[in-house]
Amino acid sequence: MKKIKNYLLWLGILSTPVSALELHIDDWNDTNNQTADYIFKVNDNTSGRFTFNITVPEADADILGIGFNFSDTANQYNAGNIDLQNFNAVRRSGDDVTAPTNIYFNSSNCGGGCNFNRVPYAPYDVILRVGARNSQLTNWFYDISFDIADLGNSLSDLISVGIRGRAVLGGGKDKAHQYVGGSSFVVPEPASLAMFGLGLTGLAWRLRRRQS
């Protein structure tokens, strides 16, 4: 029994240091039209930071606004503490933009042609605005990433997210939104799964060695 406990402890040591969670949302509600195939990811891989990645197929939509809410008990964001870094937005023309058009706090509005009116979870604590309405197709944004300070919050404090897009599937505006409170959208990060698998492999090797 002691040997088994030692093996399990060794396995835990291997897998724990890189253990991280990722919030993965690909199932959406929509206020206006058929929603595009957005994928919204947030992870806590970097100490003290949340890293976001929002994508949509190039032909589906132009991402204009990205909103998210934290619980009322979480530390709240403002212009002085969000500490936005590593912003990168890719558009169909192939070039990158390294800063959002604007950042809004405690708002349903995100500038010209961009709002979350009638979205159940609006106003959002934070909305990042990207690009401008009525832009040419080559200027459509479809892959956006950035990271922000976590302010001591955890992924479980993130309770709702929204994406404001336009020209979805050749149609009009799109207001995709989802409640993410609880654990239904939280999955282990790939790195954590890989290290856990490595731990299992090492455990099997040690057991085989002991038997031989």
Residue 120 has what pLDDT? Answer: 92
Among residues 127, 113, 188, 118, the alpha carbon closest in space to that of 161 is found at 127
Task: Give the dihedral of Cα atoms 40, 44, 46, 48; nearest 10 deg.
Answer: 120
Which of 108-112, 144-148, 200-204 is predicted with the least confidence, judged by mean pLDDT? Answer: 200-204
* 18-187 CATH fold: Immunoglobulin-like (2.60.40)
CA atoms within 13 A on the CB side of 103: 18
Q: Where are the domains of the chain?
A: 18-187
Rounded Cα gap, residues 200 and 8, in angstroms: 10
pLDDT for 27-79, tens place per residue? 999 876 667 889 999 999 999 999 999 999 887 778 999 999 999 999 999 99
